[in-house]
Amino acid sequence: MSPNRPLRIGLVGADRHARGFGARAHIPAILSGPEFELTAVCTTREETAQLAAERYGAKRYHVGIDSLTKDPEVDLVIVSITVRSHYPVSWAALKAGKMVYCEWPLGLNSDEAETLSRLAREVGVLTAVGTQGRHAPGIIYLKQLLEEGYVGRPLFFRMSHLLPRFPVRSDHWWSAMEEEHSGALGVACSHATDTLESVLGPVVSLAGCAETLHPEDIYSDTGEAFRWTARDTVSYQAKMESGVSGTANVSNVTTEQIGFRLEIYGEEGQITATTPYYVSYSPVTLSGMRKNDNAPTQLDIPKELHRAGDLEVGSAGYNIAHGLAHFRDCWLNGKSFAPNFADAHRLHQLVATVKRSWEEKKWLDIPHRENFE
C-alpha cells in the first residue's frame, strides 16, 4: 500500500450544529492533514446528513449505518455518538468488515465490550477506542523518559483527575446515569487510568472506592431537579505488573477546574505530568527532578512528537489527530494498534472491579491482558 495513501474515514456523529464531540473534536482531527480524508458523514436523517456533509466538506453522506458500511471508499468508521448506540453501530461496521474507531466507553458494560472485541478478532480488522490521553505528545515523552531511566527504577505513583461538575441538559439526562456508563467512574477515571497504564504498564490488583457524594442537581435548560446515579468520586490503591504501586483520586464535583496530575517517583528522581483540565485533550506540562537537583525543572516536549498539523495544543481534536496518525501508521505497516477493542474490554473490567472492590471491601485482581485476546 502506498505510504501516501490517505486513511478514508466515515464519521458517525457529525452533527450539523457542531455541538457533539464528533463535530467538535473528530472533524478537526480528520481535517488536520492530508493523511486523512473525510470521505463520508452519517446521521439518521437525510436532511441532517446532507447538511453535515456540506458544512464539513465530506465527499458524500449516508443515512443510517447500513448505508455507510456498504461504501467501498470508507476504510475506517469513527463512532462518536451517545454511548447507548456505540454497541449496535460498531457491531454493524465490524460485521461489514470495516475498521472501527469507537469513542470511550466502548459499550454500556463489559459484556458489550467483550462481544465487540471478540467480533473484531474474528473479522480480523484494526480497531481503536477513544481514550486519547495516551496519544498526547507530553505523555508519549513521559513514557520515553521513564524508559531511558530518568527516575531510575520507578517505585510508586500518585495520580489525580479533579474536575468540576458539568451542567446537564434535560436531553442529555444519560450523562448523569450510572447505567449509561457515565460519571467519574465510567468516564473520567477510565480516561485517567488508561493514560496511567500507557506509561507504567497494567494494573494487576486494586482496592477501590466509588461513591456518589453529591447526587442532587438541576437540569441546566429547564431547572427541573434530578438525581445523579453515576459515581462522582473515585479512589483506588493499585499494584502494577511492574511492581510499582500507587494511588488514584478522581472526581467531577470539585468547585474549580484542577485537572490531571501524575507524579512518578523512582530511585533516582521524580517526574510529574499535569494538564489544566480533562486529560483526554488538555495540554501536558512535564517537570522533573533528579538526585542532587535543588528544584524541579520544566521538561520541554520535543517538537518532532507533534503530529497534528495546525491544530492548537489543547484543542478537542489535538490528541485525536495524534491517535489517528498512529492508527494510520499501524494500518499501512500491518501492525497492531493500542488501545484497541481488547484493551477497551479490559478497561471496562478494571473500572467494574473498582466498584466491586468498594462493595466487597477488599483487594481484587485484574485479569492479565492476554486473557482479553
Per residue in 335-348, pLDDT (tens digit) is 999 999 999 999 99
CB 58 within 8 A of CB 346: no
Q: Which residue has the cell 468547585?
A: 255
State the Cα–Cα distance between residues 154 and 264, nearest whole angstrom: 7
Per-residue confidence (pLDDT) for residue 135, from 0 to 100? 98
Per-residue confidence (pLDDT) for residue 269, from 0 to 100? 98
| Tally of residues, the chain | 373
Per-residue confidence (pLDDT) for residue 5, from 0 to 100? 92
Per-residue confidence (pLDDT) for residue 350, from 0 to 100? 98
CA angle 118, 40, 322 (to 5 degrees): 65
222 alpha carbon, distance to own chain's centre: 30
On the CB side of 181, CA atoms within 13 Å amount to 25
Per-residue confidence (pLDDT) for residue 2, from 0 to 100? 74
State the Cα–Cα distance between residues 154 and 156, nearest whole angstrom: 6
**Angle separating helix axes 110-123 and 86-95, nearest 10 degrees:** 10
State the Cα–Cα distance between residues 202 and 355, nearest whole angstrom: 18
Q: Which residue has the cell 458517525?
A: 12
State the Cα–Cα distance between residues 21 and 114, nearest whole angstrom: 24
Per-residue confidence (pLDDT) for residue 18, from 0 to 100? 76
**Angle separating helix axes 110-123 and 341-360, nearest 10 degrees:** 160
3-state secondary structure of 289: strand
CATH of 7-132, one of 3.40.50.720, 3.90.1150.10, 3.30.420.40, 3.30.530.20: 3.40.50.720
Per-residue confidence (pLDDT) for residue 370, from 0 to 100? 76
State the Cα–Cα distance between residues 345 and 335, nearest whole angstrom: 20
CA angle 204, 205, 207 (to 5 degrees): 155
Q: Which of 15, 102, 55, 82 is nearest to 327 (CA)?
A: 102
Which residues partner with 269 through β-bridges? 290
Going by the DSSP 8-state scheme, the letter that residue 20 receives in this structure is S
List, for the chain, all residue ranges whose pLDDT scores fall below the cut of 50.
none
Domains in the chain: boundaries: 7-132, 135-301+345-357
CATH of 135-301+345-357, one of 3.90.1150.10, 3.30.70.20, 1.20.1440.230, 3.30.360.10: 3.30.360.10
216-218 and 225-227 strand pairing = antiparallel
> What cell numbers appear for 95 in the block?
460485521
State the Cα–Cα distance between residues 265 and 151, nearest whole angstrom: 7
State the Cα–Cα distance between residues 172 and 337, nearest whole angstrom: 32
Predicted TM-score (pTM) of the model is 0.96
State the Cα–Cα distance between residues 44 and 52, nearest whole angstrom: 12
